[in-house]
Chain A
Amino acid sequence: MNRAGALQVIASALGETDRVIVANGAMGREFFAEKSNPRHLILVGSMGLAASVGVGYAIQRRDHRVLVLDGDGNLMMGLGGLLLAGTACPANLLHLVLDNRQYATTGGQPTGSQKVDLAAMARAAGYAGAVSLDSPRRLLEELDQWTTESGPGFIRVVIEAGPAADAPRIPFTPPEMTARFRGAKP
């Protein structure tokens, strides 16, 4: 499964009341190209903080399923975000990490994530469940089980390494994305 394939599966599993926080990098642009939606907030900077933004939102809005779409480099930079999710324990949160073992956006430098059991770290931090998988079918099965009561959940999706796709820039400025996200209904 490559990143585009994983993003397609994820986009297909999202409903109209779900909220998504996407970590910075090429992944955000690719996800936006796959599914543009005001309920999705794409971060352009603040690397490592997608999980903490997601936890902050999820504990206030327990009526929504909240997805944090993270990368391995991002997660490893803001590893304390795992502790926040485990401590606050928002049952509506799903933390999904697309793990390609590299900083694809900056040229494919290795992150070293293949040496780390990220799912075990999430479990140890207090997530209700944590799995590692590499097939679209398994990913869809996990996403199908996600409810506002099932988390916080953690899914490491092992994807093929490869250069970042040449996704177009997001046609909204950060303040526009904030206004869209805050005003999104339902």
Chain B
Amino acid sequence: MLSTFDFSLSPVILRPHIRYNGAMKADTFLENLTEAGFDFFTGVPCSYLAPLVAELNRRPAEFHLPAPREDLAAGLAAGAWLGGRQPLVYMQNSGLGYSLEAFASLHMIYRIPVMLLVSWRGPADPGWEEHRVMGDHTRELLDTFGIPWVVWKAGAPEIPIPLRGDDEAPGPRVILVEKGVLA
């Protein structure tokens, strides 16, 4: 069934004040996302997001289709939205580099909304050199592209909601997920 929820008209995408203690259970989170209207998921796994991906892997391809790379996930999500779905793309921040061009020349100019759940590798990974540069610059990158973002901190009292910026253009919005948020 196609969703009638029009993501492009709604600045608030998650029910506010979903309270939880400590790490959030992935099945509860997925239930919240589904209630908020998200009905297509794609992306590339990260260990931070593994509990959510495990839940998603029990769903059919119309609901969850993993992608081999993040830009392809962005393309899939755009197609699913054109087909009436409300997509969420999950990825590590290392995948932002691959997908920024897709967001810049597809979602942002064609006004195609997509919610991104991006694990913020780097700050909590001392010694993991491969995450250091992207981790240091993740927020600046998003700011440079004008993509609204929030940080979902471990132990936060509620799921943060990335509100749109001043302009009304739909496009990507990002929840940066810290280590230990999902269980």
A and B from one complex? yes
Query: How many residue pairs, one in A and one in B, have C-beta atoms under 8 Å apart?
Result: 110
CB of B84 within 8 Å of the partner chain: yes
In the complex, B9 has a CB within 8 A of chain A? no
Residue A145 is within 8 A (CB to CB) of chain B in the complex: no
Chain A residues near B79: list those with CB within 8 A. 21, 52-58, 60
The digit string for A60-78, where 1 denotes a CB below 8 A from any CB of B, is: 1100000000000000001
Binding-face segment, A3-11, A43-51, A130-138, A146-154: A43-51
A-B contact pairs, 10 of them (CB 8 A): A44-B109, A45-B109, A49-B102, A55-B65, A56-B76, A59-B61, A59-B65, A60-B80, A81-B75, A84-B65
Interface centre among B72, B75, B102 (most CB of A within 10 A): B75
Which residues of A are found within 8 Å of B84, using beta-carbon distances? 60-61
**Contact between chains at A49 and B71 (CB < 8 Å):** yes
Q: Bound state CA distance, A45 and B105, in angstroms?
A: 5
| Cα–Cα, bound, A178→B170 (Å) | 12
Query: How far does the alpha carbon of A178 sit from the alpha carbon of B109 in the complex, in Å?
Result: 10
Q: Are B82 and A43 in contact (CB under 8 A)?
A: no
Q: In whole angstroms, how far apart are the Cα atoms of A54 and B42 in the complex?
A: 14
A114-159 residues at the B interface, CB under 8 angstroms: none
Chain B neighbourhood of A178, CB < 8 A = 82, 110-112
Can you name 15 extra interface pairs (CB under 8 A) apart from A44-B109, A48-B71, A56-B79? A44-B105, A45-B101, A52-B71, A55-B65, A55-B79, A56-B65, A56-B76, A57-B80, A58-B83, A78-B72, A83-B68, A87-B61, A89-B61, A177-B110, A178-B82
Of the candidates A53, A80, A83, A182, the one having the most CB atoms from chain B within 10 angstroms of its own CB is A53
Whether the Cβ atoms of B65 and A46 lie closer than 8 Å is: no
Decide if B61 touches A88 in the complex (CB within 8 Å).
Answer: yes
List chain A residues, Cβ under 8 A from B87: 56
A58 / chain B contacts, CB cutoff of 8 Å: 79, 83
Roughly how many angstroms separate A80 CA and B71 CA in the complex, as a whole number?
10
Q: When chains A and B are docked, how far (Å) is the Cα of A27 from the Cα of B70? A: 26
Contact between chains at A57 and B82 (CB < 8 Å): yes
**Closest Cβ–Cβ distance, residue A84 to chain B (whole Å):** 6
Contact A81 B111 (CB under 8 A): no
| Interchain CA distance A118-B61 in the complex, whole Å | 25
- Residue of A44, A46, A51, A53 near B82 (CB, 8 A) is A53
Please give, as numbers and ranges, the residues of chain B lying within 8 Å of A57 by CB-CB distance: 79-80, 82-83
Which of A49, A59, A177, A182 sits near B80, CB closer than 8 Å? A59
With beta carbons under 8 angstroms apart, the residue of B61, B65, B72, B85 that contacts A49 is B72
Task: Indicate the member of B42, B69, B72 with the most A CB atoms within 10 Å.
Answer: B72
A26 CB-CB contact with B under 8 Å: no
> Contact: A56 with B82, CB < 8 Å?
yes
Q: What 9 A-B pairs have minimum CB-CB distances, sorted nearest first? A: A56-B79, A45-B105, A52-B75, A60-B83, A49-B75, A57-B79, A56-B76, A46-B106, A53-B79
Q: Are B61 and A46 within 8 A (Cβ)?
A: no
Contact with B along A80-123 (1 / 0, CB 8 A): 11011001110000000000000000000000000000000000
Q: A51 vs B72: C-alpha distance in the bound complex, in angstroms? A: 9
Q: B77 interface residue, CB < 8 Å from A? A: yes
**Which residues of chain B come closer than 8 Å to A43, judged between CB atoms?**
106
Contact with A84, one of B76, B81, B83, B110 (Cβ below 8 angstroms)? B76
Interface presence of A22 (CB below 8 A): no
